[in-house]
Chains A and B, each alone.
Chain A
Amino acid sequence: EPEVTQTPSHQVTQMGQEVILRCVPISNHLYFYWYRQILGQKVEFLVSFYNNEISEKSEIFDDQFSVERPDGSNFTLKIRSTKLEDSAMYFCASSETLAVNYEQYFGPGTRLTVT
Protein backbone atom coordinates (compact mmCIF):
# COMPACT_ATOMS: atom_id res chain seq x y z
CA GLU A 1 0.00 0.00 0.00
CA PRO A 2 1.42 3.42 -0.93
CA GLU A 3 2.57 5.51 2.00
CA VAL A 4 4.15 8.84 2.81
CA THR A 5 7.77 8.56 3.89
CA GLN A 6 9.87 11.06 5.82
CA THR A 7 13.58 11.44 6.50
CA PRO A 8 15.30 11.67 8.84
CA SER A 9 13.30 10.08 11.63
CA HIS A 10 15.18 12.18 14.19
CA GLN A 11 17.20 15.36 13.69
CA VAL A 12 19.19 17.07 16.40
CA THR A 13 20.45 20.55 15.65
CA GLN A 14 21.84 23.55 17.44
CA MET A 15 19.88 26.75 17.80
CA GLY A 16 20.45 29.03 14.83
CA GLN A 17 21.26 26.22 12.40
CA GLU A 18 19.31 25.46 9.26
CA VAL A 19 17.47 22.17 8.90
CA ILE A 20 15.75 20.53 5.97
CA LEU A 21 13.11 17.91 6.57
CA ARG A 22 12.30 15.65 3.68
CA CYS A 23 9.13 13.91 2.61
CA VAL A 24 8.10 11.70 -0.27
CA PRO A 25 4.32 11.98 -0.69
CA ILE A 26 2.14 9.28 -2.21
CA SER A 27 2.91 9.29 -5.91
CA ASN A 28 -0.46 10.23 -7.43
CA HIS A 29 -1.29 12.82 -4.79
CA LEU A 30 -1.45 16.47 -5.73
CA TYR A 31 -1.74 18.28 -2.38
CA PHE A 32 0.99 18.35 0.20
CA TYR A 33 1.08 19.54 3.77
CA TRP A 34 3.29 20.03 6.77
CA TYR A 35 2.01 19.81 10.32
CA ARG A 36 3.82 19.78 13.62
CA GLN A 37 3.10 18.51 17.11
CA ILE A 38 4.91 19.96 20.06
CA LEU A 39 5.19 17.42 22.88
CA GLY A 40 1.94 17.21 24.79
CA GLN A 41 0.07 19.50 22.41
CA LYS A 42 -2.20 18.96 19.46
CA VAL A 43 -1.22 18.55 15.84
CA GLU A 44 -1.02 21.99 14.20
CA PHE A 45 -1.19 22.93 10.54
CA LEU A 46 1.82 24.71 9.08
CA VAL A 47 1.40 24.93 5.33
CA SER A 48 -0.31 23.43 2.30
CA PHE A 49 1.17 23.25 -1.17
CA TYR A 50 -0.44 22.67 -4.53
CA ASN A 51 0.66 23.17 -8.11
CA ASN A 52 4.12 24.26 -7.01
CA GLU A 53 2.99 27.01 -4.74
CA ILE A 54 1.81 27.58 -1.20
CA SER A 55 -1.97 27.51 -1.06
CA GLU A 56 -2.34 28.25 2.64
CA LYS A 57 -0.11 28.84 5.63
CA SER A 58 -0.60 29.34 9.33
CA GLU A 59 0.73 32.04 11.63
CA ILE A 60 3.44 29.62 12.72
CA PHE A 61 4.82 29.48 9.17
CA ASP A 62 6.80 32.70 9.27
CA ASP A 63 9.77 33.87 7.19
CA GLN A 64 12.02 31.29 8.84
CA PHE A 65 10.09 28.50 7.13
CA SER A 66 9.97 27.56 3.49
CA VAL A 67 8.76 24.62 1.43
CA GLU A 68 9.87 23.27 -1.88
CA ARG A 69 9.14 20.49 -4.27
CA PRO A 70 12.56 20.24 -5.89
CA ASP A 71 11.68 17.30 -8.15
CA GLY A 72 8.74 15.07 -8.99
CA SER A 73 8.84 13.11 -5.77
CA ASN A 74 10.30 15.07 -2.83
CA PHE A 75 8.65 17.74 -0.72
CA THR A 76 10.84 19.58 1.77
CA LEU A 77 10.42 21.87 4.75
CA LYS A 78 13.32 24.17 5.55
CA ILE A 79 13.77 26.06 8.78
CA ARG A 80 16.45 28.69 8.23
CA SER A 81 17.50 29.50 11.77
CA THR A 82 16.10 27.07 14.28
CA LYS A 83 14.86 28.15 17.70
CA LEU A 84 14.38 26.07 20.82
CA GLU A 85 10.62 26.32 20.37
CA ASP A 86 10.87 24.65 16.97
CA SER A 87 11.49 21.34 18.76
CA ALA A 88 8.55 19.15 17.76
CA MET A 89 7.42 16.24 15.64
CA TYR A 90 6.98 17.38 12.06
CA PHE A 91 4.52 15.44 9.93
CA CYS A 92 4.22 15.55 6.18
CA ALA A 93 0.88 14.65 4.64
CA SER A 94 -0.55 14.35 1.17
CA SER A 95 -3.98 14.07 -0.38
CA GLU A 96 -5.13 13.02 -3.81
CA THR A 97 -7.72 15.63 -4.43
CA LEU A 98 -9.86 18.20 -2.70
CA ALA A 99 -13.07 16.96 -4.26
CA VAL A 100 -15.10 14.16 -2.72
CA ASN A 101 -12.30 12.78 -0.58
CA TYR A 102 -10.51 15.12 1.74
CA GLU A 103 -8.52 12.53 3.59
CA GLN A 104 -4.90 13.41 4.21
CA TYR A 105 -2.37 10.65 4.65
CA PHE A 106 0.46 11.25 7.06
CA GLY A 107 4.05 10.15 7.18
CA PRO A 108 5.70 8.77 10.33
CA GLY A 109 7.16 12.13 11.25
CA THR A 110 10.56 13.65 11.92
CA ARG A 111 11.42 14.43 15.51
CA LEU A 112 13.32 17.72 15.53
CA THR A 113 15.30 18.53 18.65
CA VAL A 114 16.85 21.97 18.87
CA THR A 115 19.50 22.37 21.57
Chain B
Amino acid sequence: DQQVKQNSPSLSVQEGRISILNCDYTNSMFDYFLWYKKYPAEGPTFLISISSIKDKNEDGRFTVFLNKSAKHLSLHIVPSQPGDSAVYFCAALNTGTASKLTFGTGTRLQVTL
Protein backbone atom coordinates (compact mmCIF):
# COMPACT_ATOMS: atom_id res chain seq x y z
CA ASP B 1 0.00 0.00 0.00
CA GLN B 2 2.34 2.70 -1.26
CA GLN B 3 0.18 5.78 -1.13
CA VAL B 4 3.26 7.98 -0.98
CA LYS B 5 6.23 7.11 -3.16
CA GLN B 6 9.72 8.45 -3.43
CA ASN B 7 11.13 6.66 -6.42
CA SER B 8 14.72 7.81 -6.04
CA PRO B 9 16.38 6.05 -3.11
CA SER B 10 19.44 8.25 -3.40
CA LEU B 11 20.68 11.48 -4.93
CA SER B 12 24.14 13.01 -5.10
CA VAL B 13 24.58 16.73 -5.68
CA GLN B 14 27.58 19.04 -5.62
CA GLU B 15 27.77 21.73 -2.98
CA GLY B 16 26.23 24.96 -4.22
CA ARG B 17 24.02 23.27 -6.78
CA ILE B 18 20.29 22.66 -6.58
CA SER B 19 18.93 19.46 -5.04
CA ILE B 20 15.53 18.33 -6.27
CA LEU B 21 13.76 15.59 -4.37
CA ASN B 22 10.57 14.16 -5.77
CA CYS B 23 7.49 12.57 -4.27
CA ASP B 24 4.33 11.12 -5.80
CA TYR B 25 1.09 10.22 -4.10
CA THR B 26 -1.91 8.20 -5.13
CA ASN B 27 -4.54 9.11 -2.55
CA SER B 28 -6.50 12.11 -3.83
CA MET B 29 -7.81 12.74 -0.32
CA PHE B 30 -4.40 13.92 0.83
CA ASP B 31 -4.49 17.70 1.15
CA TYR B 32 -1.45 18.58 3.22
CA PHE B 33 2.13 17.59 2.57
CA LEU B 34 5.27 17.80 4.63
CA TRP B 35 8.97 17.21 4.15
CA TYR B 36 11.14 15.85 6.92
CA LYS B 37 14.88 15.45 7.14
CA LYS B 38 16.41 12.60 9.10
CA TYR B 39 19.96 12.03 10.25
CA PRO B 40 21.07 8.57 11.43
CA ALA B 41 20.04 7.77 15.00
CA GLU B 42 17.78 10.84 15.17
CA GLY B 43 14.09 11.42 14.71
CA PRO B 44 12.64 13.08 11.60
CA THR B 45 12.99 16.87 11.67
CA PHE B 46 10.23 18.97 10.12
CA LEU B 47 11.44 21.09 7.21
CA ILE B 48 8.60 22.60 5.26
CA SER B 49 4.97 21.94 4.43
CA ILE B 50 2.37 22.87 1.85
CA SER B 51 -1.38 22.86 1.77
CA SER B 52 -3.20 21.65 -1.33
CA ILE B 53 -4.65 25.14 -1.82
CA LYS B 54 -1.17 26.34 -2.75
CA ASP B 55 1.27 25.27 -5.41
CA LYS B 56 4.42 26.64 -3.86
CA ASN B 57 5.81 27.35 -0.43
CA GLU B 58 9.24 28.79 0.24
CA ASP B 59 11.32 28.98 3.39
CA GLY B 60 14.87 30.15 2.99
CA ARG B 61 16.82 27.66 0.89
CA PHE B 62 13.89 25.25 0.79
CA THR B 63 10.97 25.43 -1.62
CA VAL B 64 8.23 22.87 -2.03
CA PHE B 65 6.19 22.69 -5.22
CA LEU B 66 2.87 20.90 -5.50
CA ASN B 67 1.26 19.74 -8.73
CA LYS B 68 -2.14 18.42 -7.69
CA SER B 69 -3.21 17.27 -11.13
CA ALA B 70 -0.10 15.10 -11.37
CA LYS B 71 -0.23 14.16 -7.69
CA HIS B 72 3.39 15.17 -7.46
CA LEU B 73 5.44 17.32 -5.16
CA SER B 74 9.07 18.24 -5.08
CA LEU B 75 11.48 19.78 -2.63
CA HIS B 76 14.12 22.12 -3.98
CA ILE B 77 17.17 22.97 -1.91
CA VAL B 78 19.32 25.77 -3.25
CA PRO B 79 22.16 26.16 -2.72
CA SER B 80 22.87 22.70 -1.38
CA GLN B 81 25.26 22.47 1.55
CA PRO B 82 27.17 19.49 2.98
CA GLY B 83 25.04 19.69 6.12
CA ASP B 84 22.00 18.91 4.00
CA SER B 85 23.26 15.35 3.57
CA ALA B 86 20.52 13.24 5.17
CA VAL B 87 17.50 11.13 4.32
CA TYR B 88 14.51 13.19 3.22
CA PHE B 89 10.99 11.91 3.73
CA CYS B 90 7.86 13.15 2.08
CA ALA B 91 4.69 12.75 4.17
CA ALA B 92 1.03 13.33 3.44
CA LEU B 93 -2.07 13.93 5.48
CA ASN B 94 -5.84 14.04 5.00
CA THR B 95 -6.75 16.95 7.23
CA GLY B 96 -10.44 16.21 7.07
CA THR B 97 -10.51 12.76 8.56
CA ALA B 98 -7.19 11.81 10.03
CA SER B 99 -4.16 13.18 11.75
CA LYS B 100 -1.77 10.42 10.85
CA LEU B 101 1.12 11.07 8.51
CA THR B 102 1.69 8.65 5.65
CA PHE B 103 5.38 8.60 4.79
CA GLY B 104 7.30 7.81 1.65
CA THR B 105 10.31 5.52 1.71
CA GLY B 106 12.82 8.37 1.74
CA THR B 107 15.59 9.68 -0.50
CA ARG B 108 19.15 9.76 0.75
CA LEU B 109 20.77 13.04 -0.31
CA GLN B 110 24.54 13.28 -0.44
CA VAL B 111 25.97 16.75 -0.97
CA THR B 112 29.56 16.50 -2.12
CA LEU B 113 32.29 19.14 -1.95
Enumerate chain A interface residues (CB-CB to B < 8 A).
Answer: 4, 6, 31, 33, 35, 41-45, 48, 50, 55-56, 58, 91, 93, 95, 98, 101-109
Contact = CB atoms under 8 A, between A and B. Distances in A.
Given A91-B43, A102-B49, A48 B103 contact: no
B103 A58 contact: no
B101 interface: yes
B44 A106 contact: yes
User: Helix, strand, loop or mixed for chain A's interface?
Assistant: strand
A56 B100 contact: yes
A101 to B, nearest CB: 8
Given A42-B104, A42-B105, A42-B106, A102 B43 contact: no
Nearest to A103: B46
Contacts of A101: 49
Contacts of A42: 89, 103-106
B65 interface: no
B59 to A, nearest CB: 12
A102 B99 contact: yes
A45 B44 contact: no
B42 A43 contact: no
B39 to A, nearest CB: 10
A90 to B, nearest CB: 10
Contacts of B106: 42
A42 B32 CA distance: 19
- For A35, A43, A93, the residue with the greatest tally of chain B CB atoms inside 10 Å of its CB is A43
A93 B43 CA distance: 9
B105 A102 contact: no
